[in-house]
Amino acid sequence: TDTGEREVLGFDVGTSEDGAFWSDFLRSLKARGLRGVRLVVSDAHAGLRQAISEVLTGATWQRCKVHTIRNVLSQVPKREQSMVASIIRTIFTQPTQEAAREQLRRVVAELEGRFPKAMAILEEAEEDVLAFMALPGEHWRQICSTNPLERLNREMRRRMDVVGIFPNRASVVRLAGAILQEQHEEWLVSRRYFSLESMAKLKPNRPFLAAEAMLQK
């Protein structure tokens, strides 16, 4: 939210993850009032990417850093994956987006002779895997990957696996909705996910945010 809290915006159940499913889902969020989306973080699912570009116009797409590194390492012999992973991580320790771009290109130049397929994946991902660095540095850890969402998904799977087989779609929706509502309410009473100070950097034309941030200081 504008003041840095996390919320569950919505959920749906479908038989496939094609572009039509994701487009319908994102349109339903917009119909309920979703607006001002700056960044969407996801894996590189083709249908989802297409839906984001079509429905959430103006939003930047962030390719999950963790998934990208896994994709790169899948083209590296196992005995050398640890070394390559360490080198790749230097990209994400840079202080600015431009420095990270330069480091990524240095890494590609250094390793493309030994691992051409892996470095082709990394080079192609440059724009999308570093998109998060255009936003405040205080947010980088939370928005560079889908890890925060994966933790929620694991909890949902844990609680839904107890049921095993659901008799119909409605029963899935009831349980999934109850779990997400519980998480939503927990987030509302917990500490802010992002500070007011960092949110004020995203909304310089919202003086109340900056004023409240200064008061809290």
Q: What is the pLDDT along the chain (217 residues), one digit of tens a residue?
A: 888 999 999 999 988 888 899 999 999 999 999 998 999 999 988 899 999 999 999 999 999 999 999 999 999 999 999 999 999 999 999 999 999 999 999 999 999 999 999 999 999 999 999 999 999 999 999 999 999 899 899 999 999 999 888 999 999 999 999 999 999 999 989 889 999 999 999 876 766 554 555 555 5
**3-class secondary structure, 39:** strand
Pair 60, 39: CB distance under 8 Å = yes
Q: Which residues pair with 62 in a beta bridge?
A: 41
Cα–Cα dist 125/120, whole Å = 9
Pair 181, 77: CB distance under 8 Å = no
Q: Scan for tokens 């309410």, then name that residue.
A: 185
Those residues whose C-beta lies under 8 Å from the C-beta of residue 63, and which sit 6 or more positions away, are: 42, 43, 44, 125, 128, 129, 131
Which amino acid is it at 69? I
Cα–Cα dist 94/90, whole Å = 7
The pTM for the full model equals 0.85
Q: Which residues pair with 61 in a beta bridge?
A: 40
Q: Which of 105, 70, 64, 65 is nearest to 84 (CA)?
A: 70
**3-class secondary structure, 40:** strand
